[in-house]
Structure 1
Amino acid sequence: TVFSRANETCRLCSFPGLSESVIAAACSRVGQRVLHVDRRSYYAGNWASFTFNGLLSWIEEYKQAGPSDEAAQEKVEEGEEALALSSLDTSITNVEVFCYARYRGNTDPGEGHLSRPTFINEAVLAGDEVAQASGPDAGAEETQPEGEVPPQAYETQGEWQDEQQASPSPAESQPEPKKQITYTKIVKEGRRFNIDLVSKLMYSRGSLVDLLIKSNVSRYAEFKNVTRILTYRNGKVEQVPCSRADVFGSKQLTVVEKRMLMKFLTFCLDFEQHPEEYQDFSVHSFWDFLLTKKLTENLRHFILHSIAMVTPDVCTVEGLRATQHFLRCLGRYGNTPFLFPLYGLGEIPQCFCRMCAVFGGIYCLRQSVRCLVLDKESGKCKAVIDSNGQRISCSHFVVEDGYIGLDQRKNVDSRQISRAVLITDRSILPSDSEQQISLVTVPPVEPGSPVVRMVELCSSTMTCMPGTCESCCAPNPPLSPLPRDREGSEVPSVLWALYFNMRDTSAVDRSSYDLPSNVHVCTSPDAALGSDHAIKLAEAVFRQLLPEEEFCPPAPNPEDIIYDGEGPQGEGPGFEEADPAEALPSQGEVESADLFFLNAIPL
């Protein structure tokens, strides 16, 4: 293994996650020796993306998780002491799975799966787990033999229950019904799914996109622009007009409302230049400020929930800044402010891991750090001991919050984010194009309760198979699934659903952990739509490690590398980097054309 060289010294030992991956890449880029270990078999920790079968394995892992029986005795030298890390990740809890897609009932699932699949018509099913299909029929076509009625419900005794109504003859089937997607079909096409554990997007002018451009890490990924922003209002889903073209082309706003909205958005774009407009409301809520602008109920709903995306009780200045940030992100790469990486959000941590590896970082999966070795005199971490008992010296240790034991948590007050992953047979708002990427906002049912945000993805994002949509919701998604589709209904039918809670420690202060000063804790994903907190945390930790170094300097492009003896006039060895100011387009150029490494794939 990579640990075969005992007592090898590394500058940084890191565990997984977006912040940790960015820190590892930044340290490796400036010449530090980095060791990145993970007890899991995949990258990115709680920021990961899975194939469908991979997600089933992840579910089983957390349902069967239990404390380790490993001995706590560690061999340490005189003047040292061992600090054990948690052997159980408690950041994910309350994992529940529901399957509503029909299963081809001629074959029983093989051994090693969670349970037999369960199906419903209208009722909400609670507490049942899903099974991964296997056996000789797993790869068969999803069609029934002629004259055979597909199973509709599965009873607890394990017998199939036939539909009450006979299937119509081919002559009566006008038009031909949409081909039904079964659970077996989902499993068969499981590698075409890339399911995220978090529901986040990338602001086109956010800190993550800026870092991807600055560091040249963007070359490792491709992106698509989110095509529309939706909201749930008055019992139906509506598209939110946010850009100038959307506002004037909207059919749900009157001419007066269009003028009022454009006037307000124009003010928000440079509201600092007009303090007289809002200074009297600096101590009042943003909602109160919107009321004074005499905006209609339609406009207040759109601005608050889908443009500013803040709660009604936030202060006026914060609401105006959120609106301004949204507007400034418009038009950089498309008609909305957001980007989404192809193959899922788990690609972003992997891109930084790739950057780290290019500059000498060492990665080892399915290997864990069992404990830290502390120097009694200085109180600092001087080494780690892995799960094989091997010792590796290190100067700093970066770890995800989930690995910190309860003994090292003083007053850690975290909250739980309720997340849901839904696979549906169509979009929540069908349109002429089936390749829509949507951000959906569901306002709170009761005042004070959190907003539900859902990112709905189509097959062109390489996250689901054609004919389905994939959605990830947070926080507190509704626990009742969408209703089954009826004849002539455009309501999507949920085929499969996963619910779980994820611990959010983004608001926890560093002083809440009883750890050595050279042990740096990174938090789990927060409930925000963007990733600004993770990037700011990564930069703050890097400043503590290497205050004199530049954070994530740009990596050289292949065409900029000049090898010894190959450059013009036989210039010196190594490579020369192009000036970042010359390599990146100016702001005006960015506005007029997509960057080649953030190019949106056409629909």
Structure 2
Amino acid sequence: MEELPKEFETVVLGTGLPESIVAAAASRLDKSILQLDQNTFYGRDWAGFRLKELREYLSTLIQNKFDAVGRAVDENLLKDGEVAVPIRPSHCPITNFEEKIYVKDDVSETDIAPQSRQERYRRSRHFSGSSVASSGTSSTQGDESRTPTTPEAPPVPPRKQFSFDDVLAESKKFSLDLAPKLFWSNDKFVDLLTTSNVSRYASFRLVNSVATTVEGRITSVPFSQSAIFQYEGLSPSDKRKLVKFMTMCMDPGKMQEQMQAASQMKLGAYLDKLQLPNTLRKSLVNAVAMCTDQTSVPEALKRIRRFLQACGRYGANTSPFLFPVFGSGEYPQYFARVSAIFGGIQCLSRTVDHAVVSTSSNKVTAVISNHERIACENLVLPTEYVPDEWKSSNHPSKARILSRAILITDHSIFPRVKNDNGEKQACDSGFMRIAREDGDELGVLLVEASHTADICPADYRVVYLWMNAKSSARADLEPYVERLLEPFQHDRDGMPKVLWACYHNYERWTWAETTEQPSAAGDAGRSAAAGKIPANVRVVSGPSGSIDLEDVLEESKAVFEKMYPGLPFLPRIPGPDEIVLDTSDSPSLDQSGNKESENIENV
């Protein structure tokens, strides 16, 4: 193994998204950065995997096959007044991994009577199992909305049959995320990708369906104020009330009297006064505001305003969300690549064994990796690597456990959508929030994507679900899977089928840093003895349950500002055609990525 340089300004432990963003931002300003990761892949808890790799990785974690003991320190690497603190994960954040295979290895082609596309997608809209007949033949009795099959309807081929060997054979075409995310079309993370020019590595697809469940049925959510007003069942009186409500959302300054009256109310009580149709009300609460009836009106209006402002950015009546092509698990690599371009060094299968701390200053002066001492001015590490010696009441850490599921299915859960020509087609990607009976504000979040986002083969869909955990991930989420989908070997009644699923819990710790600083060297020594974290150590968190990445961006910016106060955060990266090798006759590039004589337009 090639020997590393003996000194860096910052050592970053891990290649997760916040670690890689910080490394990229620092490298962009010519800071010397070393990024180490004990894994053989980039991303840590944010990673994306092929199907076989994901199964192997999660199985390995559950068997606790990671180095929890650490190495003995070589005392010759320490100087007088220094102590070595072991750096190793205190726990495995991923637990309760369970895999369920819904297809058999011996499934063969069968003569299944095809159904009309209208019937197949009508039935896929049902959320509750009670809304679907228990046999393969659907009953039309009492169902006025069913579109009957006509002799002129084009024949639909039988549903494709799968074995699990078929699924595994396509393993390399899957890109499955441990922590799936969407982007708001106008959020700060997308702005960072654009202004920094990291967007040249990334591509997006518009999410073309947003939905929720109302009375056991999947209901699409409108993408604009005008579409909201077109809801069936809205009387003129309802529309007048809705106009006032939307005005409060978009321009609260014009409705100060009404805002003042509603400021102390809960959203549910306020909507009761409006008496809106139930479907519209549920859509506003569950999918637009993404909250509960107990959310305050000002907070709910803020969320609705954000949803509506994000709609239509890339065309009339387009959704507020973007899905990352290849999945969000690629983003740690994008930022690590930026760091490498500007001189950062990334090493996989290597970690920090010990942090060397000066007892006089209570600062990390070096790290020890593979029996090598590497001097550093800053150390960035994930929460699970924080040693017990550095934990104290002044640095409380809070745990939030998430239940997550990754599914492979054969058809879309979402209703069909209109394309640019006004024709209906299968949904390429969709987002759904399902309200929980216990009133948890996160609810159950669902993201689905197809081969158009390059995360699976053409015959499949990938579905992600997550929620705040009550029990094991399977116990929490399998009831929702069974209502939305059917096991593949069951009766073929037109509902989407689940072929494979894996469930796991993720334990996320957040770190609250104290603002208290030692006033003198003596105080610093006593602080270290009391268990305070060294002053130049920065802690980053794992993926949260939020739908977007804005919390990651805020955390990364805060870490960067503490290490390099006053310096610009991730200035624009010049494109290859903008790099000038001979600067004698051409303007040079400054640290912000702009020419000295003119600004470069972002492309």
CA contact (8 A) 1:380 1:516 kept: yes
1:69 CA displacement: 4.2
For 1:201-600, list aligned pairs within 5 A.
Answer: 201-244=182-225, 246-247=227-228, 261=242, 264-334=245-315, 335-386=318-369, 388-410=370-392, 411-431=396-416, 432-448=424-440, 450-475=442-467, 476=469, 477-480=476-479, 481-482=481-482, 483-484=486-487, 489-506=493-510, 508-511=511-514, 514-564=532-582, 570-571=585-586, 577-578=594-595, 583-584=600-601
Match of 1:114 in 2: none
CA distance in 1, matches of 2:338, 2:210: 33
For 1:60-139, list aligned pairs within 5 A.
Answer: 60-66=59-65, 68-75=68-75, 76-87=78-89, 89-104=91-106
CA distance in 2, matches of 1:540, 1:70: 30
CA contact (8 A) 2:225 2:308 kept: no
CA contact (8 A) 1:285 1:316 kept: yes
Q: Per the alignment, in what secondary structure is the counterpart of residue 58 of structure 1?
A: helix
1:435 CA displacement: 4.7
1:320 CA displacement: 1.1
CA distance in 2, matches of 1:259, 1:219: 45
CA distance in 2, matches of 1:580, 1:324: 40
CA distance in 2, matches of 1:536, 1:294: 39
| Cα deviation 1:378-408 (Å, max 9, x = unaligned) | 110011111x211111110111112223443
CA contact (8 A) 2:103 2:499 kept: yes
RMSD of aligned C-alpha atoms? 2.8
CA distance in 1, matches of 2:257, 2:415: 44
CA distance in 2, matches of 1:70, 1:14: 15
CA 1:223 to 1:350, structure 2 compared with 1: closer, same or farther past 3 Å?
Answer: same
Match of 2:40 in 1: 41
CA distance in 2, matches of 1:366, 1:181: 37
Q: TM-score, normalised by structure 2?
A: 0.79
| Cα deviation 1:464-520 (Å, max 9, x = unaligned) | 1112111111114522342336656232211111111111224x4124984111110
CA 1:248 to 1:225, structure 2 compared with 1: closer, same or farther past 3 Å?
Answer: same
CA distance in 2, matches of 1:583, 1:292: 53
Amino acid at match of 1:101: V
Amino acid at match of 2:353: R
Amino acid at match of 2:390: Q
The count of residues paired between Structure 1 and Structure 2 equals: 517
Match of 1:54 in 2: 53
1:89 CA displacement: 4.4
CA contact (8 A) 1:372 1:385 kept: yes
CA distance in 2, matches of 1:490, 1:225: 26
Q: Per the alignment, in what secondary structure is the counterpart of residue 34 of structure 2?
A: strand
**Poorly superposed stretches of 4+, deviation over 4 Å:** 142-146, 248-263, 485-488, 572-576, 578-585
Match of 1:138 in 2: none
Amino acid at match of 1:310: C
CA contact (8 A) 1:226 1:336 kept: yes
CA distance in 2, matches of 1:8, 1:14: 15
CA contact (8 A) 1:14 1:399 kept: yes
CA 1:465 to 1:580, structure 2 compared with 1: closer, same or farther past 3 Å?
Answer: farther
1:277 CA displacement: 1.6
Return 5+ residue gaps in structure 2 as ranges: 112-154, 417-423, 470-475, 516-530
CA contact (8 A) 1:505 1:526 kept: no
CA contact (8 A) 1:93 1:502 kept: yes
CA distance in 1, matches of 2:512, 2:212: 34
CA 1:580 to 1:534, structure 2 compared with 1: closer, same or farther past 3 Å?
Answer: farther
CA 1:573 to 1:279, structure 2 compared with 1: closer, same or farther past 3 Å?
Answer: closer
Amino acid at match of 2:448: E
1:262 CA displacement: 5.5
CA distance in 2, matches of 1:145, 1:347: 39
Match of 2:25 in 1: 26
Return 5+ residue gaps in structure 1 as ranges: 105-141, 147-173, 586-595, 597-603
